[in-house]
Amino acid sequence: MGNRLKDKIALVTGAGSGLGRAAALHLAREGARVAGTDIDKAAAEATAREIAEEIGGETGNDRAIAIDHDVADPGAWAAAMEATQKTFGGLHILINNAGISRHGDMESTTYEDFQLLMDIDLNSVFLGCQAAIPVMRESGGGSIVNISSVAGIMGNPNTVAYGTAKAGVRYLTKCVALDCAQKGYGIRCNSVHPTYIRTPLIEQFLHEDGALDRLNRMIPLGRICETEDVTHPIVFLASDESAMMTGAEVVIDGGLSCGYSPRV
């Protein structure tokens, strides 16, 4: 247990699974009080219980709460902020993590899927930043961490919708960072760009024999990410240790985006 986030209040979206669950736990281990939100409320509640069991305290009051929240619904953001403020009294950290993935090239991606990915992976981040800024200002400042992907930096013909949404998150992050800096709000905003992480989201790529080995070989460092590879940078960006970082892209891809893969 640490105290790098002592006295901070965090909201993590998609906290019921994968990276969001791991980030919520890691932030709590560093002293933050955590509102974990998810469209799957039971999963968010399980994460809140895990935090309470590990850190001590009770769910629903001093360390962790779960909020039923569809990040693509503008009205739901106001309710999530209100619940967090009511329970913990403010907000200092927002991790815009909830997301979905769909494979598809230009010919196979339907417009419905394209719009769905924009709504859940990009528009939600706009809504989250917009909802958090006034609450963070009232709370004395804060740090927003937007979970993009290496797919938001590198082109890929098979992730047309996902990559476009994640590239939008990269750009939006810089706009939020500069807007808050220009206005002197004391709010930083950075994006995180992982390669594949071992979470339920990538199970769709792992059905064939040897699929994980193939993914591992694509990465110059020889393996895909574990959630902790990503939550350590998230904690750093959330904390005051990164006080001079805003609008930055933190790439966690084992060298993939350097452009040369020594293993394939």
Ligand X SMILES: NC(=O)c1ccc[n+]([C@@H]2O[C@H](COP(=O)([O-])OP(=O)(O)OC[C@H]3O[C@@H](n4cnc5c(N)ncnc54)[C@H](O)[C@@H]3O)[C@@H](O)[C@H]2O)c1
> Which residues are within 8 A (CB) of 198 and not within 5 positions of it... i.e. 6 or more apart?
224, 225, 226, 227
| CB closer to ligand X, 61 vs 158 | 158
The yes or no reply on residue 254 touching ligand X (CB under 6 A) is no
The yes or no reply on residue 36 touching ligand X (CB under 6 A) is no
Q: Residue 18 carries which side chain, given as an amino acid letter?
A: G
The yes or no reply on residue 47 touching ligand X (CB under 6 A) is no
Gap between the Cα atoms of 147 and 131, Å rounded: 17
Residue 217 buriedness (CB in 10 A; 0-12 / 13-18 / 19+): middle
Residue 12 buriedness (CB in 10 A; 0-12 / 13-18 / 19+): buried
Q: How far is the CB of 140 from ligand X (least distance, A)?
A: 27
Spot the catalytic one: 162, 171, 185, 260: 162
> 171-230: which residues touch ligand X (CB under 6 A)?
194, 196-197, 199-202
Q: What are the helix (H) ranges across 189-238? A: 211-218, 227-238
| CB closer to ligand X, 67 vs 133 | 67
Is 171 in the active site? no
Q: How far is the CB of 11 from ligand X (least distance, A)?
A: 12
The yes or no reply on residue 98 touching ligand X (CB under 6 A) is yes
| CB closer to ligand X, 137 vs 174 | 174
Tell me which stretch binds ligand X (CB under 6 A): 93-101, 176-184, 211-219, 255-263. 93-101
Do residues 148 and 169 touch, judged by C-beta distance below 8 A? Answer: yes
Q: Which residues are part of the catalytic machinery?
A: 162
